[in-house]
Amino acid sequence: MDVKSAFLNRFIEEEVYVRHPPGFESARFPDRVCKLRKALCGLKQAPRAWYARVSYSSPGLVMGSVDKTLFLLSHGGDTLIVQIYIDDIIFGGSSHALVSSFAEQMSREFEMSLMGELQFFLGLQIKQGPEGTFVHQAKYTRDILKKFEMGDSKPMTTPMSTNTALDADEDGEAVDQKEFRGMIGSLLYLTATRPDIQFAVCLCARYKASPRTSHRQAVKRIFRYLKFTPELGLWYSSGSSLSLRGFSDADHAGFWIDRKSTSGTGQFLGTSLVSWSSRKQTSVALSTTEAEYVAAASCYSQLLWMKATLSDFGLRFGKIPLLVDSTSTISVAKNLVLHSRTKHIDVRFHFLRDHYKKGDIDLVHVVSENQLADIFTKPLELQVEGVDNTLIKGEIESQWTGVIALLV
């Protein structure tokens, strides 16, 4: 549902004064200001006041303890889930009567329009079925291909070659910075449903300040890969378990310019990938163990946030498995005596060791071949046999779907 003038629907509790709006200045009292009775768009109190108004409008609706835009309502054995994004509200529940009652109550309270079943939201296309939900951005992908005149380009089977080594390329020819940043920004939004391009896009984004021809060619390679696989997305199975686990990996000194490592993390709820990241570390790691340790700490911090958020849904978790492919990293986290080898690591990353000691996390070794976070730390070349374009595309979609949806 779409709420009209959402931020104007709540009285504010604080005393806030504003100048006369342009065109409404008082010639009689030019030095006076106006005292607000209701929230205005752009006022920092407006979002908080709007969320509070939503919770007041429906008795029993409780705001999430971590995510303040999440609301839950329990009635008997049924649950209603409400998620707010500015003036758009997504809601659903286990009871059709409960959902209908909430929609009617909100329609009486506010001026709004009901959009029906969720099919399209902020560029995301959602297909719901009895077996699960598929989220993709096929329309958005075709739109950006057309926008940057890549619709007729030759398709590529991977977003980046394994032997690609981007650097500052100061001697290269400079390209239009505005166009390059536009391409990067469009691709970054696409990574909301395309983990397979996360690493390549983030790597190219590091050169937005001074893009060269080589950087633009690398971005065009990503668009040519999107031309080949425009309808890839995320599959969330309805039969998936509700177990929480994470994968973390690191590419030690993988960035050629400053020799900083790249952390790759992926968090799964059952077989569904719900969060991921590919990020350059803030400091140079002195060893592979340190790089992996920092990546594992980053992964667990996200798992900790997800654990707190899922507690609002009544889900409780014991030890959360974190899968890493470095036995030395596991030893550092478990062994409190290795002070001489870890004293140079930033103190803030040692909370991983602290939570292991408390029993909140279980560090598990996984072989590199099964390390799913590997796609967020380096370009991967898919091994595809055959020359038929249709067969190759089907094989690539099958392999990427296996990585993304953890169908292993």
Name the DSSP letter for residue 181.
H
Beta partners for residue 248, in sequence order: 265
Inform me whether the pLDDT recorded for 387 exceeds 50.
no
Interatomic CA distance for residues 154 and 118, integer angstroms: 34
Q: Are 362 and 322 contacting, i.e. CB atoms less than 8 angstroms apart?
A: yes
Task: For residue 365, give both structure tokens.
Answer: 């070794």
The answer to whether residue 129 sits within a structural domain is no
Question: Do 165 and 195 reside in the same domain of the chain?
Answer: yes
Query: Domain of 31?
Result: 2-116
- pLDDT, one tens digit per residue, over 347-380 is 667 778 888 888 888 989 999 888 889 999 988 7
Question: Do 39 and 49 reside in the same domain of the chain?
Answer: yes
pLDDT at 86: 75
Q: In what order do the strands lie in the sheet with 78-85?
A: 62-63, 70-75, 78-85, 88-93, 2-3, 112-113
Question: Do 8 and 65 reside in the same domain of the chain?
Answer: yes
- pLDDT, one tens digit per residue, over 205-215 is 999 999 999 99
Q: Which of 301, 289, 305, 304 is nearest to 349 (CA)?
A: 301
Inform me whether the pLDDT recorded for 406 exceeds 70.
no
Determine the average pLDDT of the residues in 260-286: 92
Contacts of residue 390, Cβ cutoff 8 Å, sequence gap at least 6: none
Which residue has tokens 């590091």?
Answer: 206
The answer to whether residue 126 sits within a structural domain is no
- pLDDT, one tens digit per residue, over 187-207 is 999 999 999 999 999 999 999
Question: Do 279 and 366 reside in the same domain of the chain?
Answer: yes
Question: Do 357 and 266 reside in the same domain of the chain?
Answer: yes
Question: Do 253 and 281 reside in the same domain of the chain?
Answer: yes
Interatomic CA distance for residues 40 and 28, integer angstroms: 25
Cβ neighbours around 286 below 10 Å, total: 13
Question: Do 245 and 349 reside in the same domain of the chain?
Answer: yes
Q: Rounded to the nearest 5°, which phi and psi values hold at 274?
A: -115, -15
Which of 84, 116, 148 is at the close of a domain? Answer: 116
Interatomic CA distance for residues 363 and 293, integer angstroms: 11
Q: In what order do the strands lie in the sheet with 120-121?
A: 120-121, 124-129, 132-136, 233-237
Beta partners for residue 323, in sequence order: 247, 364
- pLDDT, one tens digit per residue, over 238-264 is 888 889 999 999 999 888 888 999 999
Task: Kindly report the pTM of this predicted structure.
Answer: 0.81
pLDDT at 7: 57
pLDDT at 142: 95
Structural domains counted in the chain: 3
Confidence of residue 343 (pLDDT cuts 50, 70, 90): low
pLDDT at 379: 87
Inform me whether the pLDDT recorded for 178 exceeds 80.
yes
Q: Measure CA 44 to chain center.
A: 25
Q: Are 54 and 68 contacting, i.e. CB atoms less than 8 angstroms apart?
A: no
pLDDT at 8: 60
Determine the average pLDDT of the residues in 255-280: 92
Q: In what order do the strands lie in the sheet with 262-269?
A: 272-280, 262-269, 244-251, 320-324, 361-365
pLDDT at 201: 96
What percent of the chain is helix, strand and coil (3-state, nearest 5)?
A: 35, 20, 40
Cβ neighbours around 206 below 10 Å, total: 15
Interatomic CA distance for residues 298 and 279, integer angstroms: 10
Question: Do 210 and 299 reside in the same domain of the chain?
Answer: no
337 vs 276, residue with greater confidence: 276
Q: Are 284 and 260 contacting, i.e. CB atoms less than 8 angstroms apart?
A: yes
Confidence of residue 84 (pLDDT cuts 50, 70, 90): confident
Q: Which helix H or strand E contains 391, and what residues bound it?
A: helix 389-404
